Structure 1
Amino acid sequence: MERSPRHGHEAPTIANLEIYTKARQQCVVEIEDGTRISMNAQSWLSYPLEKRDTTSIGLSGEAYVVTSSNTLIVSTMKGKVTATASDFVIKSAKDYTKMILNNGKLDLYSYSLKKSETLYCPNDLGVLMVGFSDQSGSPVDTLFRVENMDFEMAKMWTRKVRTYKNVPLIVFVDEMSRWEGFTIKRWDCLPKNKLITASVHYQSAKEEVYSAIKDAGVLLYEEKGMLSFCPEDGRNRVAVIERRKHHE
Structure 2
Amino acid sequence: MRNLFLKYLNNTISAEELKILYHYCRIDENDREIDVLIKEYFETETSLDNLAAHSNFEQLKDDSWKNIEKRLKDVPSSKNLVGSFGFKFSIAASLLILGSFSFYMFSRLKADKTRAIELQDIQPGKEPAKLIVSNGTVYNLNGKDEEVISDQSGIRYKDGDTLAKIASNELMTLMTPRGGNYKLTLQDGTRVWLNAQSSLRYPASFNGKERVVELKGEAYFEVAHNSKQPFIVTTASQKVKVLGTSFNINAYANENSTITTLVTGRVQINDKSDHKLQVLVPRQQADNNGASVTVENVDTDLYTAWKEGTFRFRSTPLPDALRQIERWYDLEVDYTDIPSSIKIHASIARDSNLSTVIHALEKITGLKFNVKGRSVSMMK
Q: TM-score range by the shorter chain?
A: 0.7 to 0.9
Seen in structure 2, the aligned counterparts of structure 1 residues 104 and 96 have a Cα distance that, compared at 3 Å, is: same
Seen in structure 2, the aligned counterparts of structure 1 residues 199 and 127 have a Cα distance that, compared at 3 Å, is: closer
Seen in structure 2, the aligned counterparts of structure 1 residues 165 and 108 have a Cα distance that, compared at 3 Å, is: closer
Q: Residue 124 of structure 1 contacts residue 145 of structure 1 at CA under 8 Å; is this kept in 2? A: no
- Larger strand percent: 1
- Structure showing greater radius of gyration is 2
Aligned to 2:276, which of 91, 116, 132? 116
Q: What does residue range 1-248 of structure 1 map to in structure 2 within 5 Å?
A: 1-3=150-152, 15-49=170-204, 51-70=207-226, 71-94=230-253, 96-111=257-272, 115-129=275-289, 141-186=290-335, 189-216=337-364, 217-229=366-378, 234=379
Seen in structure 2, the aligned counterparts of structure 1 residues 96 and 15 have a Cα distance that, compared at 3 Å, is: farther
Seen in structure 2, the aligned counterparts of structure 1 residues 122 and 165 have a Cα distance that, compared at 3 Å, is: same
Deviations 1:192-221 (A, max 9, x none): 321233332222111111101111212222
Q: Residue 105 of structure 1 contacts residue 118 of structure 1 at CA under 8 Å; is this kept in 2? A: no
Q: Residue 128 of structure 1 contacts residue 144 of structure 1 at CA under 8 Å; is this kept in 2? A: yes
Seen in structure 2, the aligned counterparts of structure 1 residues 99 and 165 have a Cα distance that, compared at 3 Å, is: closer
Q: Which amino acid aligns with 1:61?
A: G
Q: Give how far 1:223 is off.
A: 2.6
CA distance in 2, matches of 1:159, 1:167: 19
TM value normalised by structure 2: 0.51
CA distance in 2, matches of 1:168, 1:192: 5
User: Structure 1 segments of 4 or more deviating over 6 A?
Assistant: none
CA distance in 2, matches of 1:14, 1:122: 34
Could you tell me which runs of 5 or more consecutive residues in structure 2 were left unpaired when the two chains were aligned.
1-149, 155-165
Could you tell me which runs of 5 or more consecutive residues in structure 1 were left unpaired when the two chains were aligned.
6-10, 130-140, 236-248
**What count of residue pairs does the alignment treat as equivalent?**
213
- Larger helix percent: 2
Q: Give how far 1:3 is off.
A: 4.1
Deviations 1:141-189 (A, max 9, x none): 3131322122110011112344445543233222222221212222x63
> Residue 325 of structure 2 aligns to a residue in which SS?
helix
CA distance in 2, matches of 1:103, 1:14: 31
CA distance in 1, matches of 2:168, 2:191: 26
CA distance in 2, matches of 1:57, 1:69: 15
